[in-house]
Amino acid sequence: MGLKRIFATAVLSSLLGFAPASAAEFEKNIMTGGPQGTYIQIGRDVAAVGKACGQTLNVLESAGSLENFVGVRNRRNTQFGIVQSDVLEYLKTFEAGDAEVQQAVRGVRIMFPLYNEEIHVLARKDIAGMKDLTGKKVAIGVQDSGTFLTASLILDILQVKTGERVPLNPDAALPKLVSGEIDAFFYVAGAPAALFAKNPIDGERFHLLPITEAPLLATYTASRIDAGTYDFQTQPVDLIAVKAVMMTYDYDVKRNAYQRESCNAVSDFSSLIVNNLDKLQATGHPKWKDVDLTALPPGWQVGVCVKAGMAMDYKPKCTAAIEAPAEKASDANEEYLNLLKQRLKPQ
CB under 8 Å to 63, separation ≥6 — which residues?
Answer: 33, 34, 142, 143, 144, 145, 169
Distance, CA of 191 to CA of 39 (rounded, Å)? 11
Please spell the DSSP secondary structure of 215-244, one letter per residue: GGGGTSEEEEE-TTSSTT--S-EEEEEEEE
Question: Which residues share a beta bridge with 240?
Answer: 222
Start-end of H helices in the chain: 3-14, 38-52, 65-74, 85-95, 99-105, 146-157, 170-179, 194-198, 257-275, 277-283, 304-310, 330-343
Distance, CA of 66 to CA of 84 (rounded, Å)? 9
Residues of the chain with pLDDT under 50: 1, 12-23, 326-333, 335-336, 343-344, 346-347
Query: For 125, which DSSP code?
Result: T
pLDDT value of residue 5: 54
pLDDT value of residue 4: 55
Distance, CA of 301 to CA of 230 (rounded, Å)? 37
pLDDT value of residue 187: 96
Please spell the DSSP secondary structure of 166-187, one letter per residue: E---HHHHHHHHHHTS-SEEEE
pLDDT in tens, 157-174: 999 999 999 999 999 999
Q: Does domain 117-243 have CATH number 3.40.190.10?
A: yes
Task: Round the CA-based radius of gyration of the chain to a whole number and report it.
Answer: 20
pLDDT in tens, 248-271: 999 999 999 999 999 999 999 999
Give residue 129's Cα distance to chain centre: 26
pLDDT value of residue 8: 52
Q: Is 4 helix (H, G, I), strand (E, B) or coil?
A: helix
Burial of 224 from C-beta contacts in 10 A (0-12 / 13-18 / 19+): middle
Task: Give yes or no for a contact between 210 and 177, defined as CB atoms under 8 angstroms apart.
Answer: no
Question: Which residues share a beta bridge with 165?
Answer: 138
pLDDT value of residue 64: 86
CATH 3.40.190.10 residue window(s) in the chain = 3-116+248-314, 117-243
Exposed e or buried b per residue across 316-330, where buried means at least 16 C-beta atoms within 10 angstroms of its C-beta: beeeeeeeeeeeeee
Our CA angle for 299, 303, 306, nearest 5°, is: 130
Distances, alpha carbon 299 to alpha carbons 80, 100, 198, in Å? 19, 19, 38
Residue type, 90: Y
Q: Does domain 3-116+248-314 have CATH number 3.40.190.10?
A: yes
CB under 8 Å to 125, separation ≥6 — which residues?
Answer: 204, 205, 206, 207
pTM: 0.79
Distance, CA of 293 to CA of 182 (rounded, Å)? 38
